[in-house]
Structure 1
Amino acid sequence: MDELLPIRKIIHVDMDAFYASVEQLDDPELKGKPIAVGGGGKRGVISAASYEARKFGVKSAMSGRLAEKLCPELIFVKTRFDRYREISNKIRSIFLDYTDLVEPLSLDEAYLDVTQNKKGHPSASLIAKDIRRRIFEETGLTASAGISVNKFIAKVASDYNKPNGQKTVNPEDVLQFLEDLDIRKFYGVGKVTAEKMYQLGIFTGKDLKAKPIEFLDDKFGKSGRYYYHVVRGIHTSEVKPNRIRKSLAAERTFSENLSSEIFMLEKLEHIAEEVSRRLTKSNVAGKTVTLKIKYSDFTLQTRSKTLPYFLSDASVILETAKELLYQDNLKNSVRLLGISMSNLNTEDRLKKEELPPKDVSVQLRFEF
């Protein structure tokens, strides 16, 4: 007989165009207009776009210049992270009224495990609705939510009825929901992986489910086993209130392209100091230093070195970054430099999650 997985009630709450919505909230003249947070100047990159701007194809991580070409009426506003963090804290306090099992992913989204909740409410769907109501009443902002038996499905579901909506995938509907799902909607499947799956004849969850685990292991390495299980509704990751950091980074985009390594050293010194400051603030250290280089043609290159000891000192980080910079010739002029630290001394506290055996099935009888 198949072993039955314990069913949890998981909510993924995702604020709607959070940064842009905050700006429209604070400045009523921006309401209903296409706005971009960040992205101003010649080299700016957009942090967020309002739904009015998204209709023109404007999106986060896009250059301000391209966004302006797509939407000539676009209004650029400066980022105000202190304000976003202030509202995020208010939203998080709402979450904590329902459960202590809250795992923030960023300022604007979080997982909640409401299997056993402070309200004693049996319906995760009604809890999500109540949370969204309170967010709107107490902050003036809207949120969307996904509700299901695990984090993976809840996150996918939260994108279905955006903005200001929610979707519940009941336990008895999980397998059909996943089979019908476009492979591009699978959390963890990026553009490159999706193209590879298309070439292998995988367009939907049903196509993915038809592939044996050996095939997926061969084609996608470690991720193959992950795909094999999630398409069967199996995702055992728990909601962790205190997420352990796995890496820490800082980077800078330059107003003018840099073509000389000598000019880059000064920039790297400031970046190394920022990384060191963040490591100290988080009370962590790392062994692996990675140098990130983005060229003027937007191609990206990373170079890494792992040291035999943990470090957080700015001078050592800088010296390692210098070594990586001189490791190979630069391909072009440089528009961005970044330094990240990974292999942190927090990782020995991480608990490795065992994937369930193949014969594990999902328990379908549960009130949602």
Structure 2
Amino acid sequence: MTEQLLPARPAHPLPDGVSITPEGQRPDQEPSLAARNNGGVVPGAAPAPAGRREALLVLGFGGPEGHEQVMPFLENVTRGRGIPRERLESVAEHYHHFDGVSPINDQNKALVAALRGAGVDLPVYWGNRNWAPYVEDVWREMATDGVEHAYVLATSAYASFSGCRQYHEDVARARVALESDPDGPTGPTAEKLPHYFDAEGFVQANADALAAALAELPAELRDGARLVATAHSIPNAMAAVAGPQGHTYERELEAAARLVVDRVAPGRSFDLVWQSRSGPPSVPWLEPDVNDHLRTVAEAGEQAVVVFPVGFISDHLEVIWDLDNEAEETAGELGLAFARAGTAGTHPAFVRSLVDLLAERRAGGEPRLGTNCPANCCFVERPAGRPGSVPAS
């Protein structure tokens, strides 16, 4: 069923670097603002107070549900970023190829159902940054339902502005939107669950998918096939920003890919390359692009390649278009045997790891990266609007 066409959400601007945790307060921010965005709750080692009404929010990117929603959705995503109209129209065609419906929405619904089925004994909500159900509306729904504290599961496993910091900002914006209504209910406090790129279940799910993809190749090509990990390219300036302990987007991806490959073929080499870049050519982004890399692989005399999109948690449109369509087509033109591994999706081991992350925080486990980041963590100056990309998810 197609949702009604919805307008862009009203802006609730936040100061640069605002966080949902007081540890994230910038020196030039008033303490009351950081406390307002977080409700005064600092993630710590103490278990949650008995009787507090808690919930889990699965926070995603969002996607259109029909042809008529595609361009409004893309305009919503890219507002203020100066993306040329022709670029939006080009990406829109990817959605129209699939009847204007992004698979990411059903995938997030399936994840919510899997979490409930795996023993999460809290109400589980789903909200998005860029399309219905918007996080602001879901935050109000939780408040109306009497939720006092929300654990936020972002549908990204890694560091970076877009992959982590912006989810903190989404929650802070939702709180500001709710609290700006004098007649509205009091919203819940919140904390984001930590990064899970190295969680046992995430690694196992990707390893199982990589093994299955290798098995698709002819037996004589499997041992020599080039293993290629992919993730969404981001601007170099964003990628260069390091979080605590030197964590960066690229380092976490390298670590995750290494763990996945070692689970299947210990010590075997792999390449980490990028996909789905956008933005003006004058702005450098992480390279090489997967299609360019396939050409390099072919020129080196390789015969087969297995691509595993470890940078994504589900087979959304960027995966099925950029890899199953464009990359596979490139491989075919080059005479390369090609197999693409699946993503974690609702693999039982992955879902169990997410349940474990939630249990860890509810029990008062020590906060880890992604939960209580400082405000300058993964922060990028945004003189011409927020950094980001044109998605196809």
Q: Is the TM-score greater than 0.5? A: no
Which structure has the higher relative contact order (CA within 8 Å, separation 6+)? 2
Q: Choose between structure 1 and 2: higher strand proportion.
A: 1
TM-score (norm 2): 0.22
Q: Which structure is larger by alpha-carbon Rg, 1 or 2? A: 1
